[in-house]
């Protein structure tokens, strides 16, 4: 991967660059049933077990906060319904990957801690499960307290890449870290905290994280993630972004926005502050230069959109 030199660009500038390009075809919302009056959002990318395709979705009553469950859904005639016999987990923002022939599932656990200073008296951490199928998933790792957006992917050197998102202090509201492990058994809070920060990615007072990682043929890693900021009125703005990461040089390409809430039909929102929010689950690459992004919408809905594959290097001339 060619090494670039750059300074972090603010969301406003990245958004202007994105909007100057040809707009993607309008995305579509996914339809869900079988969950009563609850919303389904912040979905995973679709994944297969045998001949069956599933999506993990965050399910929650709109008026609730920190009362989410992750449910596994199957599609039938354009509608996603809970998969019969599949477990549910009291976790937020579920994600999936495969390491060898094992399924790796993770999500964010919210738990009470009356000693913390935030207004809700809670903390969070990422839990990881492994198994041959949904029914055999067993917890095997717990991330550090107060860290979301930890993602893993096996890479071409046979090791396991780990992307992290430490908060507070010099890391502000979240920067991205990277480390490698020899085995899944090495995934623990201590090793996660030892990840090296990827510098110069986010402007001051802005933040981001990794939502999904793709091991690419040239040895680099393609990242689908989010970049975000909060405006003076308190509203949050989250955009789907991508970059390529070279693990040997510990160097990332510049961040590019690949989708925004405006690329989807208008719809409901959990509250006014979350209207301009998408939270990507991941990308399905089609091999023809296109890809489908799956994402949560305004913390109440989910959608997908066809985009140019961000990990294909476009030839000039």
Angstrom distance (rounded) from CA 13 to CA 7: 12
Structure tokens at 262: 């405006």
6 assigned to some structural domain:
no
**Residue 192 sits in which domain range?**
11-308
155-161 contacts at long range (C-beta below 8 A, 24 or more positions apart)? 155/180, 155/215, 155/219, 155/221, 155/247, 156/215, 156/217, 156/219, 157/219, 160/99, 160/184, 160/186, 160/187, 161/213, 161/215, 161/221, 161/247
3 assigned to some structural domain:
no
187 assigned to some structural domain:
yes
Looking at the predicted structure, is the pLDDT value of residue 317 above 60?
no
What are 153-174's pLDDT values in tens digits?
999 889 999 999 998 777 777 8
Question: What is this structure's pTM?
Answer: 0.94
1 assigned to some structural domain:
no
What are 229-249's pLDDT values in tens digits?
999 999 999 999 999 999 999
Question: For position 256, which CATH number holds?
Answer: 2.115.10.20
Question: Beta strands of 169-316 (E only): which ranges?
Answer: 177-181, 196-197, 207-215, 221-230, 236-246, 251-252, 256-259, 276-285, 290-297, 301-308
Looking at the predicted structure, is the pLDDT value of residue 117 above 70?
no
Mean predicted lDDT score pLDDT of the chain: 93
Mean per-residue pLDDT, 200-228: 96
313 assigned to some structural domain:
no
315 assigned to some structural domain:
no
**Which band of pLDDT confidence, cut at 50, 70 and 90, is reported for residue 113?**
confident
How many domains, in total, are found in the chain?
1
CA atoms within 13 A on the CB side of 51: 0
Sign of the torsion angle spanned by Cα atoms 76, 79, 84, 86: positive
2 assigned to some structural domain:
no
* Cβ contact 237:11 at 8 Å: yes
57 assigned to some structural domain:
yes
């Amino acid at each position: 991967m060619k090494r670039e030199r750059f300074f972090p660009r603010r969301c406003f500038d990245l958004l202007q660059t994105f909007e100057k390009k040809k707009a993607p075809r309008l995305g579509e919302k996914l339809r869900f049933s079988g969950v009563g009056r609850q919303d389904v959002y912040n979905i995973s990318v679709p994944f297969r077990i045998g001949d069956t395709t599933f999506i993990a979705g965050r399910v929650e009553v709109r008026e609730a906060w920190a009362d989410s469950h992750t449910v596994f859904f199957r599609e039938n005639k354009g509608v996603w319904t809970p998969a019969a016999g599949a477990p549910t987990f009291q976790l937020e923002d579920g994600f999936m990957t495969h390491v060898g022939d094992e399924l790796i599932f993770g999500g964010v656990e919210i738990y009470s801690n009356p000693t913390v200073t935030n207004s809700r008296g809670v903390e969070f951490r990422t839990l990881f499960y492994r198994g041959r199928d949904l029914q055999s998933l067993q917890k095997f790792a717990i991330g550090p307290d107060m860290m979301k957006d930890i993602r893993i992917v096996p890479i071409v050197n046979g090791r396991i890449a780990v992307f992290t998102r430490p908060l507070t202090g010099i890391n502000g509201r979240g920067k991205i870290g990277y480390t490698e492990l020899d085995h899944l058994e090495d995934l623990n809070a201590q090793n996660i905290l030892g990840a090296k920060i990827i510098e110069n990615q986010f402007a001051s007072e802005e933040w981001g994280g990794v939502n999904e990682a793709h091991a690419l043929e040239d040895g680099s890693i393609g990242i689908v993630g989010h970049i975000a900021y909060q405006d003076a009125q308190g509203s949050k703005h989250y955009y789907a972004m991508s970059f390529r990461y070279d693990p040997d040089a510990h160097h990332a390409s510049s961040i590019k926005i690949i989708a925004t809430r405006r690329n989807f039909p208008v719809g409901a929102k959990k509250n006014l502050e979350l209207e301009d929010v998408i939270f990507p689950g991941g990308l399905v690459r089609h091999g023809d230069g296109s890809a489908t992004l799956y994402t949560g919408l305004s913390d109440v809905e989910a959608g997908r959109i066809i985009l140019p594959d961000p990990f294909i290097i476009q030839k000039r001339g």
